[in-house]
A and B are shown apart, each in its own frame.
Chain A
Amino acid sequence: MTVAHSSAGSVRGRPRGTSRESRAGVAFVAGYVLLLIAFGVLPTCYAIYFAFTNAGGAFTGFTNFVTTAQDFRFIDSLGHVALYLVFWLLSLVVFVVVLALLLHRLSSGPVSQALRFLYYIPGALAGAASVLVWLFMLDPTVSPVSSLLETLGFHTFGEVIAPGNLALLFTIIAFWTGAGGWIVVMYGALNNIPKDVMEAARIDGANGWQTAWRVQIPMLRKWIVYMVILAFAGGAQLFVEPQLLSLASTGVAGRDYSLNQLTYDFAFQMNNINGAAAVSVELLVISMSVAGVFVARSGFFDAD
């Protein structure tokens, strides 16, 4: 999730510098571009090649796409991922923005520093490790918050991970793991809003709510769009959470809950690498289309 943060700076429009500066800029970006080509672009192209060919390498058109879409699990997992994305993106936009605004209002005292640190900690755990933390949290027999789970009517792990609860559980896990980093990013963006704008709002008689709604949130728009694009791409590839939960529950949570799990199943359970590639290409197309819509509608690349 944090891979692309650093590149965000290069997206923002800056006045042109001297040619020496721009050469330095190219040098700095070159390393990233090389890695992007080696580990991002080339594998993607390889997947596209696989998606349109069969095991023998012959061109098959859209056959792989049709076959995989006809698999009885495809629509189900598509629905699961869609529902999860709705929960995940909504919670991310609402809570991250609200928490960042609150954090910003606390100014830069020690409380704010401590909170920023706290928010960031879960993000420092690797994906799989944070899921393992949640496996404990969600099991009423070992959970430190077992009384809360009992109050909600959950007495066994099996009841907690009932299929109907999964989208919400994955949202909670993903939020806990990923939101902290975004709160810190939003906080930084809030700090970037010029002081005179805030002061003007105050002189005009805007209260805290009005300042947030009419000044700060509109000025955060690009950051929110950026967050939504990356969160969508990440969320559409839901894999680690359901896979680990499936192993921990010996299959109750399902080995084919998400599209990415289905891809994995096609590749290694059913020996259909080409079908797997077709599904992953679909995911890529969906993510890029959504990103395209958001970028076009939000004026993401307009200069400040």
Chain B
Amino acid sequence: MSVYKPSAAQETGTSRRRAALLAGCAATVLFTVAACGSGGGTASTTTKDGFAQAPQKDGALTVWVDATRMDAAKQYQQLHPGVKMNIVSYDGNANGSNYLQTKVQLFNRTGKGWPDVVFSSQNNEASWAVDAGFAAPLNKGLIPDATLGGFAKGANDVCTVDGTLYCLRNDLSQAVLWYNAPLMKKFGYTVPTTWEEYQKLGEKVAKEHPGYLVGDAGDSFTPEIYLWASKCGANDITGPKSVSVNTTSEACTKMAKLLDVLIKNKSMSISGVFSTDFAKNEADKVLLMPGPAWFGGAVFKDGLKTPAKQIAVAPIPQWKGETSPSTGNVGGGTWLLSKHSAHIKAATDFLKWVTTDDAYQGEKAPGFPAYAPAAENWLKAQAASGYFAGDLTALKDASSQVWSGWGSGQFSQEAIWAATVKPGMTQGKTIESLLPAWQDSIVKYAKSNGYKVSQ
């Protein structure tokens, strides 16, 4: 906040002082130009595995992780005592903080400092990390095809730019329908399988058990849960720098209308599951809740403190007449390997271990692993933990049902929804009436990020 503050008042001195300042400025500009001119890398690089690799050196492997993934890095260190590691904790780019991107831009300027391997909780890292020359291609020799083939179908789509893979998905965030099994039984309701049934149930709940909820539409990832599942073409990334945006098609409006009905009769909250008012007033009122795989642990178990043996999982509803559900995808972390790494072998080993090894992904990871064999074991471990009511097969089924018409662009869909649609909803406007404004905003942000937009 105080970058230029003193100078604004100070630089209004005498003309002699002004002249001195000008001279100083001129000298600095000359100095800067000279400094820029003499820069430039001279180190010899070897082209291997599809990119020019920096000279390889001994030394510690630098890994950046968020607080949740700290356990993974520590576990690797324990199992591989021979590997020198420098584990750095950062915010994991949570809430789109852009920390990683900010730092990489600075490292690119100074020519050093890049981490060897980095975890991010955002899905759209590849979209900028490739442009920034940070992410190394992984399917050109670094990671064997056999390993890559083990990831769930479409899991690494967010990491693929122009057919080349630039990151590995940590966990999947396929949306499912979470529900409170004993409460549903008590009220005598059955779990809806179509969106039409879901809406009817919401209307019934509003009449028979006012205050209870069939869902929440107050978070910035609301469009990823509902509109993505409805195959709304708001965010179809059709090329590295092109996107198709259509928020007013029937696929979008019918879901918007459904949400509007349920918000109006108050069977759907607009607080947001992480807001203080939701935790305080509505924690024990959740009957149903469409949401991603990580809702089980992060929202119900840790956030709302729902007791064990209550929360169960069902497939996300589908529209009547469709053959199988399509689901959205709300986050899911990614791992990137730096092109600038001087420890590529060690970095690749770590990357492979952390995304595929059962020791972490199968047993300890909090989210649904993107690597299918690890996911099998993870599901077994979750079932054995005794928290959930019923089995978790719906999660596994949903992992391959993510609709591919919604991409991960460089601009944040969540930020756009939060700034454009959420305030209108708070004022009582319908989502349907806000769809054109949403479209307008997406188009503007996409264009300003250099995307070619078709509508």
Q: Which of B83-111 contact A (CB under 8 A)?
A: 95-98, 101-102, 105, 109
**A182 → chain B closest CB, angstroms:** 14
Residues of B with C-beta under 8 A to A269: 98, 101, 449
Beta-carbon contact of B426 and A271 below 8 Å: no
Beta-carbon contact of B105 and A250 below 8 Å: no
Beta-carbon contact of A240 and B1 below 8 Å: yes
Beta-carbon contact of B219 and A46 below 8 Å: no
Beta-carbon contact of A233 and B12 below 8 Å: no
Beta-carbon contact of A46 and B448 below 8 Å: no
Beta-carbon contact of B2 and A234 below 8 Å: yes
Residues of A with C-beta under 8 A to B419: 251-255
| Given known A3-B6, A46-B32, A268-B98, contact A71–B448 (CB-CB < 8 A) | yes
**B74 → chain A closest CB, angstroms:** 27
- Which interface residue of A156, A254, A292 has the most chain B CB atoms within 10 A? A156
Beta-carbon contact of A237 and B36 below 8 Å: no
User: Which chain B residue has the least Cβ–Cβ distance from A156?
Assistant: B277
Q: Which of A88-96, A136-144, A201-209 contacts B (4 or more CB under 8 A)?
A: A136-144
What's the Cα separation between A72 and B449 when bound, in Å?
A: 11
Residues of A with C-beta under 8 A to B101: 268-269
Residues of A with C-beta under 8 A to B274: 250
Partner of B6, one of A40, A49, A57, A252: A40
Q: Which of A240-272 contact B (CB under 8 A)?
A: 240, 247, 249-255, 267-271
Asked whether A27 is an interface residue with its Cβ less than 8 Å from the other chain, the reply is no
What's the Cα separation between A156 and B275 when bound, in Å?
A: 9
Beta-carbon contact of A270 and B448 below 8 Å: yes
Beta-carbon contact of B426 and A156 below 8 Å: yes
| Given known A45-B24, A158-B422, A252-B423, contact A1–B5 (CB-CB < 8 A) | yes
Partner of B276, one of A7, A43, A142, A288: A142
Residues of B with C-beta under 8 A to A49: 28-29, 32-33
Residues of A with C-beta under 8 A to B417: 251
| Given known A250-B219, A255-B415, A271-B132, contact A237–B4 (CB-CB < 8 A) | yes
Asked whether B385 is an interface residue with its Cβ less than 8 Å from the other chain, the reply is no
Residues of B with C-beta under 8 A to A271: 105, 128, 131-132
What's the Cα separation between A271 and B127 when bound, in Å?
A: 13
Partner of B8, one of A158, A163, A238, A288: A288
Residues of A with C-beta under 8 A to B185: none
Beta-carbon contact of B36 and A57 below 8 Å: yes
Beta-carbon contact of A156 and B5 below 8 Å: no
What's the Cα separation between A239 and B2 when bound, in Å?
A: 10
Partner of B12, one of A72, A159, A268, A291: A291
What's the Cα separation between A208 and B298 when bound, in Å?
A: 62
Asked whether B57 is an interface residue with its Cβ less than 8 Å from the other chain, the reply is no
Please, how many residues of chain A have a CB less than 8 angstroms from a CB on the other chain? 63
Asked whether B67 is an interface residue with its Cβ less than 8 Å from the other chain, the reply is no
Beta-carbon contact of B8 and A230 below 8 Å: yes
Beta-carbon contact of A41 and B9 below 8 Å: no
The A interface, classified by DSSP as helix, strand, loop or mixed, is: helix
Q: Which of A23-56 contact B (CB under 8 A)?
A: 36-37, 40-46, 48-49
Asked whether B10 is an interface residue with its Cβ less than 8 Å from the other chain, the reply is yes
Asked whether A157 is an interface residue with its Cβ less than 8 Å from the other chain, the reply is yes
B60-97 interface mask toward A, CB cutoff 8 Å, 1 = contact, 0 = none? 00000000000000000000000000000000000111
What's the Cα separation between A1 and B2 when bound, in Å?
A: 7
User: Which chain B residue has the least Cβ–Cβ distance from A4?
Assistant: B6
Partner of A4, one of B9, B32, B280: B9
Residues of B with C-beta under 8 A to A46: 28, 32
What's the Cα separation between A128 and B396 when bound, in Å?
A: 43
What's the Cα separation between A268 and B106 when bound, in Å?
A: 9
Partner of B423, one of A162, A229, A280: A162
Asked whether A214 is an interface residue with its Cβ less than 8 Å from the other chain, the reply is no
Residues of A with C-beta under 8 A to B218: 158
What's the Cα separation between A288 and B4 when bound, in Å?
A: 10
Beta-carbon contact of A3 and B7 below 8 Å: no
Beta-carbon contact of B423 and A163 below 8 Å: yes
- Which interface residue of B4, B11, B271, B274 has the most chain A CB atoms within 10 A? B4
Asked whether B3 is an interface residue with its Cβ less than 8 Å from the other chain, the reply is yes
Beta-carbon contact of A72 and B132 below 8 Å: no
Beta-carbon contact of A141 and B29 below 8 Å: no
What's the Cα separation between A158 and B12 when bound, in Å?
A: 43
What's the Cα separation between A232 and B9 when bound, in Å?
A: 10
- Which interface residue of B3, B4, B8, B274 has the most chain A CB atoms within 10 A? B8
Residues of B with C-beta under 8 A to A43: 3
Asked whether A12 is an interface residue with its Cβ less than 8 Å from the other chain, the reply is no
Residues of B with C-beta under 8 A to A71: 448
**B282 → chain A closest CB, angstroms:** 11
Beta-carbon contact of B423 and A233 below 8 Å: no
Q: Which of B33-75 contact A (CB under 8 A)?
A: 33, 36
Residues of A with C-beta under 8 A to B4: 40, 44, 233, 237, 280, 283-284, 287
- Which interface residue of B7, B128, B132 has the most chain A CB atoms within 10 A? B7
Q: Which of A201-238 contact B (CB under 8 A)?
A: 226, 229-230, 232-234, 237-238
Residues of A with C-beta under 8 A to B359: none
Residues of B with C-beta under 8 A to A40: 4, 6-7, 10
**B451 → chain A closest CB, angstroms:** 11
| Given known A41-B21, A49-B32, A141-B276, contact A233–B97 (CB-CB < 8 A) | no
Q: Which of B263-282 contact A (CB under 8 A)?
A: 270-272, 274-277, 280-281
Partner of A247, one of B36, B97, B272: B97
Residues of A with C-beta under 8 A to B21: 41
User: Which chain B residue has the least Cβ–Cβ distance from A155?
Assistant: B277
**A168 → chain B closest CB, angstroms:** 15
Beta-carbon contact of B275 and A157 below 8 Å: yes
**B33 → chain A closest CB, angstroms:** 7
Beta-carbon contact of B3 and A237 below 8 Å: yes
**A9 → chain B closest CB, angstroms:** 13
Can you report 6 A-B residue pairs in the complex whose CB atoms are below 8 A from each other?
Answer: A49-B28, A156-B271, A158-B271, A162-B426, A247-B97, A252-B423
Binding site for A on B (CB under 8 A): 1-12, 21, 24-25, 28-29, 32-33, 36, 95-98, 101-102, 105, 109, 128, 131-132, 218-220, 270-272, 274-277, 280-281, 412, 414-415, 417-419, 422-423, 426-427, 444, 447-450
Of all A-B residue pairs in the complex, the 7 with the closest CB atoms, nearest first, are: A251-B418, A233-B8, A268-B102, A45-B28, A45-B25, A141-B276, A158-B426
* Besides A3-B5, A250-B414, 11 other A-B contacts (C-beta < 8 A): A4-B6, A37-B24, A45-B24, A142-B276, A156-B275, A232-B8, A233-B4, A237-B1, A251-B415, A273-B105, A291-B8
Binding site for B on A (CB under 8 A): 1, 3-4, 7, 36-37, 40-46, 48-49, 57, 71-73, 127, 139-142, 155-159, 162-163, 226, 229-230, 232-234, 237-240, 247, 249-255, 267-271, 273, 280, 283-284, 287-288, 291-292, 295
